[in-house]
């Protein structure tokens, strides 16, 4: 009987994963909110459009994990960019374009609130500044401002 209970406990532990908050780290902006994951995700998409950017990619493992019987916190990575910035990046550094789209990360916290995180565009493009020069530095600064505005709009 003890062996059976140990197996059941292991299976329950393996099919659920505790939520972990995103810790501040170099080059990241981390904004805790009182919004639910779904509300923050909707508000982020609205803010992206309002700031003349586009949602280029979306990815998250939660639904697929749920289909496999695994419960994990909601999370979604949203890639954001627009064609104007893409063309301008390519004018400065072909290699830097691999960083586009730049991503926002919406994560569910243990208390069912959500956090919005992102690496600043200036941080993302820093490895390419020698190649891209002042034009890429200016572009990264513009994107820093745009991403800050999107984040502020989404989290208020």
At residue 155, the 3 state secondary structure works out as helix
H helices then E strands: how many in the chain? 6, 5
In DSSP notation, 50-88 reads: HTT-EEEEEE-SHHHHHHTT-B---EEEEEEE-HHHHHH
Mean pLDDT of the chain, nearest integer: 89
- 38 Cβ partners below 8 Å, 6+ apart? 74
Average pLDDT of span 135-143: 97
At the topology level, CATH places domain 2-155 in TATA-Binding Protein (3.30.310)
Average pLDDT of span 6-26: 54
Give the pLDDT band (50/70/90) at residue 120.
very high
pLDDT at 15 over 60: no
């Amino acid at each position: 009987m003890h062996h059976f209970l140990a197996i059941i406990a292991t299976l329950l532990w393996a099919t659920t994963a505790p939520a972990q908050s995103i810790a501040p780290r170099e080059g990241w902006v981390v904004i805790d909110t009182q919004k639910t994951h779904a509300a923050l995700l909707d508000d982020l998409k609205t803010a992206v459009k309002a700031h003349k950017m586009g949602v280029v990619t979306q990815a998250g493992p939660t639904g697929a994990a749920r289909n496999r019987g695994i419960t994990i916190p909601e999370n979604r990575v949203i890639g954001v960019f627009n064609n104007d910035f893409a063309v301008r990046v390519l004018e400065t550094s072909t290699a830097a374009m691999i960083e586009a789209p730049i991503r926002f990360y919406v994560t569910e916290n243990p208390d069912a609130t959500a956090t919005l995180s992102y690496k600043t565009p200036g941080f993302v493009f820093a490895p390419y500044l020698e190649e891209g020069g002042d034009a890429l530095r200016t572009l990264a600064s513009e994107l820093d401002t745009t991403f800050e505005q999107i984040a502020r709009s989404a989290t208020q």
